[in-house]
Amino acid sequence: MWQNLKHNLFLQVVFALIIGIALGLSFHDFSLNLKPLGDGFISLIKMLIAPIVFCVVVLGIYGAQDIKKMGKVGAKTILYFEIVTSIALVFGIAVAYIFKPGAGMNIDLTALDAKDLAVYTERAEHLSSSSDFILSIIPKTIFAAFNNGDILQVLLIAIIFGISMLLIPKKFAEIVRQALEAFSEVFFKMMGLIIRLAPLGVLGSVAYTTAKFGLSSFAQLGYLVLLFYVTCIAFVILLLGSILRMTGLNIFKFLNYFKAELSIVLGTASSDSVLPRVMQKLKKLGIKDSTVGLVIPTGYSFNLDGFSIYLTLAVIFIAQACNIDLSMTDLLSILLVSLVTSKGAHGIPGSALVILAATLSVIPALPAIGLVLLLSVDWFIGIMRACTNLIGNCVATVVIAHWEHDIDHAKAQSVLNQPQPIAETAQDA
């Protein structure tokens, strides 16, 4: 067993998660001091996300050698994202009204402390309109996009850069391609080294969170957390499973294939940490580089299934907890606004609460201070939110590749049917 633990990243992460919970319960003060382990790991990952996305998208566009095809793939990708996101938003509303997680709480708004909410509402002010969101995609300078780590801005630059490479003489474009491939190889190797630290990052995050909040302090909000987890699992198995079945693949084998990546997300509540590994594994399924390079980075900002479910579920939870009845007009407004605000979630500190604040700000009937109710459980909800987002983007990549005949179905079936190797290490990244 110890030999397997030494080489198996999945087992290392699970082991670290268990130790983290034990430390958080047994050594409160010590565990609170472990927070930098988790924060540091996430920071190391985010440091490389922007250059990796840039290289992958540019090489994908240039490798396709067909601007019209890339445009068609891009249009289909956005259409798919909007349809599935809309379903996820409606899914959240339906679950909220059927199971009523906030009913009976009878929260007195005057008793809520709004001081912890100020930072989120301030950030939300910049996201309350679609025009602000669109303008925020355009960076002030090329380097500013990389400095800020804004994936949408980096994606915009990469798309323009990749298309421009197709329009210049090939002898010059080839020089740039070779340089980007070399840089990409180095960045992926750097990510592979950082991923080896995943167990430490998970241990620090879990120990800190367990020590700070405990396991029994969520009695009142536990139902909401449990309901969200069950809802996301049902969404993945029923909806995404059905979509994946249309491509000939099985959702359970698909999830097993990405179990190591999901275990890292489970411990860090962030899907950024596994982006390069996921892209590599999708390519191993027989999906063309150009499709993976376009769909996955775009999906990180435009296809947040787990976040979309939570967005509408949380809004209605706040309304129910505060005894506020929402009209059909309010519900339609929530849906339309959420379609816009959900696209700005990635890359914003405290993104879920920020976007929730932005959504609430345009619905006069809903008090923004109600977000205080969710502060203590946001990290726990964020675990399943990130996992569902990741699964949704992996399924989306397969679907788009299936539509464009950019996937080797025989290879994909063969890879998924094979038992996952015991020694799945960080070096596979």
Percent of the chain surpassing pLDDT 70 = 77
- Which residues have C-beta within 8 Å of that of residue 236, sequence separation ≥ 6? 251, 255, 388, 391, 392
Helical H segments across 303-360, by residue range: 305-321, 328-341, 351-360
CATH number listed for the domain at residues 2-66+76-423:
1.10.3860.10
CA distances to 86, 133, 377 from 106, in Å? 30, 35, 19
Which position has the higher pLDDT, 135 or 36? 36
Query: How many CB atoms are located within 10 Å of the residue 417 CB?
Result: 9
Q: Dump pLDDT digits (tens) for 276-316.
A: 889 889 999 999 887 888 888 878 777 889 989 998 898 89
- Name the average pLDDT for the chain: 79
Q: Which of 384, 402, 325, 399 is nearest to 88 (CA)?
A: 384
Rg (CA), the chain: 21
Does the structure show a pLDDT above 80 at 219?
no
Q: Dump pLDDT digits (tens) for 23-81.
A: 888 888 888 888 888 778 877 877 877 888 788 778 877 776 666 767 777 788 888 98
pTM of the model: 0.72
| DSSP structure string for 271-283 | SGGGHHHHHHHHH
Q: Dump pLDDT digits (tens) for 62-74.
A: 776 666 767 777 7
Segment 136-144 mean pLDDT = 81
Q: Which of 123-127, 299-303, 306-310, 402-406 has the lowest mean pLDDT?
A: 123-127
Segment 314-333 mean pLDDT = 83
